[in-house]
Amino acid sequence: MRKQILSVALVTALSAISYAQNKVVSVTTLTKNETKGQPKKFVKCAAKPPSVEWEANFQKQIQALIANQSKYRTAMQVNYTIPVIVHVIHSATAVGTGANVSDVQINSGITILNNDFAGTGLNSGNVPNALASAKANTGVTFCLAQRTPTGAQMTTPGIDRMSYASKNFIAPGATGYDGAYIDATIKPATMWDSNKYLNVWLLELGNSLLGYATFPDNSGLSGMPSGGNTSTEDGVVLNYFGWGSSSNSFAPYDKGRTASHEIGHWLGLRHIWGDASCGNDYCTDTPTQQSENVGCPTYPKVTCSNTGDMSMNFMDYTDDQCMFMFTNDQKTRIVTTLTNDSRRANLVASTNLSCTPVNLNSPPSAVFMASSTGTFIGGGNITLTNTTNNATSYLWTVSPTSGATFSNSTATSPTISFSAPGSYNVCLTATNSFGNSTPACQVITVAAVQPTTCDTLSNLEADDTLTFYRNGATAADGYITGQNSFGDISKAERYNYPTSGFSTGLTISGIRVYHAVIKGSGSTAYNVWNESAGFPNTILATKSVINNTLTPLQLNTITFTTPVAVANNTPFYVGYTYGYASGDTIAVVQTRFKNPTVNHAYEQFSNNSWHAFTETPASWGSTASLVIFPIICPNTVTSLAHLTHNLTNNAYIFPNPNNGMFSVMLVFDEQTDATIMITDLLGKQIMVRNVTNVIQQEVALNLTNAGIGTYLVTIKTNSGITTKRVVISE
């Protein structure tokens, strides 16, 4: 495996997992625990351990995260909030009877989870002194979802009740549902979007199981065994009494710790004994132990030559009252999951509003985006995308009215076309039973003739988080996007040919690149490649630049001596080739691994072969985009869609979450004045910054005195407005 990154410790960890090749156990194998000290003969957990390949890739991501946090920014507690939807599957009994558990029990489950993941739960003060330093506050909190998938306010937050008959499910019978039926039938029929919710199912679970969970879908790459799940099965299944405080008749499983254990799996944690005799859970601060513990062992119970099993860990099999801690290394695995797993990362992103109540007792707030804020006569329709919540009707207006036509002025998301040049103010008013919103407006500029300006392309997505990663624990290991211990020589970003505006061809006049690090007296070549067989091939244009003439942590513009033509409707690559002269260092900012849904990043090894970042084990096993933009110029313009971007894609916040110190990166095609306004969720203004004549600029902001919480960052220019969320943690 080429990219066993970072340290000798990782190499040791990877070799140590070879034992597990015969231990990818099934549910039936786990039932051997059924009668082992569990008085009601419940099987504690039936989560399926993921594959060896999954764990190897996950360890690689852990080490990259550790190195990045230690070298890029000061370590800090980052808090994550996970919205939960609890699906209650019952037999049409009264609420509070049998599987139709009460609202009180469901709400108590959230309290228990929040305390357990903060390290303050029941009996958490009983951690033995010898293990106390390992106890962690994971930084994870849970909330019952406030909104349905359509954005409506839930009358009973986070609870989705249904009888099995209402969904045409089979009856659970005397033995309960088996996992195969749940995964194949119940989950797909009841699942809420797993990018926005942690789905939990409470029902009568068969085979004497307490619960099971899906692991993170760590890779999803072809040819690599999946350790996780699909979007139609992702979540946690519990026997109905395993969530929250339940009847004492279900002791010793009545204190909600089954949920803490299974959600630990869902966040990437392994059983503490490694599912093998003296096995490996890949956490150095959990003692190696012989096997699972049951009941309430007295510390120290010595096995495998340790100083005492950590039987009080949530990932053991002890009774609910006797498990009460996660460790710091387990926290690292959890944070790695929330950083790299695509669904988990989306779920905790600041753009996920599932935990935010809808204000039902007030008029709506109108919000929309135009597909373009510029066009010309005959340039086609502009789509108006309405994202307003809690509205029952809409009215679109435009000023001046002459020369502009809506497809339907009362539609949710109409199109608008123009027959005369000028500046048009397009507004949306939303209405509900409490009144009308304040109009939300955007200016669209219509030109009389076709412009011939140049533009930049970007693969960045609106909610991308920008970062960069060290390749190892020391400076000698280098960077993932620059010189490193593997001897990589080039990095490139793939671009598809624009879908509109360039039907008669385009040229690339240069590139804009955002360096995290750039220093030394050596040179770096900035290139354009064509594509062959899905990889960069022939260099079409190149410009060599001395490293120390460029500035780190801002966009640098590299202009080619002669613009290069790109063949119509063919992909191309822009990137850089670098040397290893003494004193030279280069790294380019990239998106957080797995943050974009599609990979655009490629690298050239020392043997001149090209590889996608998604390749495993050859490369990094994850999607990514590099912050490197081609400057493209049309031969003849047929649309302005590429020339005036939606502001959503002109502004990026990083890091996010943060400790109050963060930046807004603005990227425009021409000099633009912008206003950055920060408010809290109630609309109170915290800060306003004005910047002028910006083409590309990083605006550093300091909200360390504002307090922990979620804030709105609104960026406004004369061509549009966009609002993003930023999360400040300790």
Please spell the DSSP secondary structure of 383-421, one letter per residue. EEEE---S-SEEEEEEES-TTEEES-TTSSS-EEEESS-
Question: Residue 428 above 90 pLDDT?
Answer: yes
Please identify which of the residues 53, 55, 204, 262 carries the catalytic annotation.
262
Please report, to the nearest 10 degrees, the dihedral formed by the alpha carbons of residues 123, 129, 131, 132 taken in order: 70
Q: Is the pTM of this model over 0.85?
A: no
- The answer to whether residue 3 is domain-embedded is no
Domain shared by 335 and 372, yes or no: no
Alpha carbon distance 396, 616 (integer Å): 50
Alpha carbon distance 301, 388 (integer Å): 58
Question: Residue 724 above 80 pLDDT?
Answer: no
CB 724 within 8 A of CB 662: no
Per DSSP, what are the bridge partners of residue 536? 531
Per DSSP, what are the bridge partners of residue 505? none
- The pLDDT score that the predictor gives to residue 167 is 95
- The pLDDT score that the predictor gives to residue 101 is 94
Domain shared by 162 and 267, yes or no: yes
User: Does 37 or 127 have the greater pLDDT score?
Assistant: 127
Domain shared by 717 and 597, yes or no: no
CA atoms within 13 A on the CB side of 704: 4
**Helix 328-340 / helix 52-72 crossing angle, nearest 10 deg:** 100
- The answer to whether residue 225 is domain-embedded is yes
End-to-end CA separation in angstroms for the chain: 37
Q: What average pLDDT does the segment 389-396 reach?
A: 88
Q: Among this protein's residues, is 55 annotated catalytic?
A: no
- The answer to whether residue 199 is domain-embedded is yes
Q: How many other C-beta atoms can be found within 10 angstroms of the C-beta atom of residue 163?
A: 15
pLDDT digits (tens, 9 = 90+) for 530-545: 999 999 999 999 999 9
- The pLDDT score that the predictor gives to residue 221 is 27
Domain shared by 274 and 140, yes or no: yes
| Helix intervals (H) in 134-286 | 179-181, 187-190, 257-266
- The pLDDT score that the predictor gives to residue 36 is 27
Domain shared by 435 and 557, yes or no: no
DSSP state of 548: G
Q: What average pLDDT does the segment 630-655 reach?
A: 60
Give me 184's structure tokens: 């194949």
Give the residue from 306, 321, 347 where a domain finishes.
Answer: 347
Whichever domain contains 675, its CATH number is: 2.60.40.1930
- Percent of the chain that is helix, strand, coil (3-state, to 5): 20, 35, 50
| Helix intervals (H) in 618-694 | none
Alpha carbon distance 132, 125 (integer Å): 9
- The pLDDT score that the predictor gives to residue 47 is 62
Choose from 21-35, 373-387, 425-439 the range with maximum mean pLDDT: 425-439
Domain shared by 606 and 669, yes or no: no
Whichever domain contains 162, its CATH number is: 3.40.390.10
- The answer to whether residue 26 is domain-embedded is yes
CB 486 within 8 A of CB 476: no
- The pLDDT score that the predictor gives to residue 305 is 94
Give every CB contact of residue 533 below 8 A, 6+ residues apart in sequence.
none
DSSP state of 209: B
- The pLDDT score that the predictor gives to residue 500 is 65
How far, CA to CA in Å, does 532 sit from each of 56, 529, 538, 700? 31, 10, 8, 41
Residue 630, domain extent: 455-634
Question: Residue 306 above 70 pLDDT?
Answer: yes
Give me 520's structure tokens: 């030394």
Closest CA to 271 of 49, 54, 35: 49
Q: What average pLDDT does the segment 671-691 reach?
A: 78
Closest CA to 508 of 523, 529, 532, 535: 529
Whichever domain contains 509, its CATH number is: 2.60.120
Q: Are strands 422-432 and 440-447 parallel, antiparallel or unpaired?
A: antiparallel
- The pLDDT score that the predictor gives to residue 211 is 93
- The answer to whether residue 354 is domain-embedded is no
Alpha carbon distance 621, 156 (integer Å): 41
pLDDT digits (tens, 9 = 90+) for 310-361: 999 999 999 999 999 999 999 988 988 888 777 888 888 766 777 877 666 7
- The pLDDT score that the predictor gives to residue 697 is 77
pLDDT digits (tens, 9 = 90+) for 575-586: 999 988 888 899
Alpha carbon distance 29, 23 (integer Å): 10
Closest CA to 626 of 597, 599, 665: 599
The percent of residues in the chain predicted with pLDDT above 90, rounded, is: 42
What's the mean per-residue pLDDT of the chain?
80
User: Does 7 or 484 have the greater pLDDT score?
Assistant: 484
Question: Residue 643 above 50 pLDDT?
Answer: no
Give the residue from 398, 429, 449 where a domain finishes.
Answer: 449
User: Does 323 or 11 have the greater pLDDT score?
Assistant: 323
When divided into structural domains, the chain yields a total of 4
Cα–Cα–Cα angle for 30, 135, 341, rounded to 5 degrees: 60
Give the residue from 299, 319, 347 where a domain finishes.
Answer: 347
| pLDDT classification of 299: cutoffs 50, 70, 90 | very high
Domain shared by 414 and 305, yes or no: no
Q: Is the peptide bond before 414 cis (omega within 30 degrees of 0)?
A: no
Whichever domain contains 372, its CATH number is: 2.60.40.10
| pLDDT classification of 6: cutoffs 50, 70, 90 | very low
Give every CB contact of residue 111 below 8 A, 6+ residues apart in sequence.
none
Question: Residue 611 above 80 pLDDT?
Answer: yes
Q: Among the listed ranges 3-12, 17-26, 151-160, which one has the minimum average pLDDT value?
A: 17-26
- The answer to whether residue 687 is domain-embedded is yes
Domain shared by 372 and 231, yes or no: no
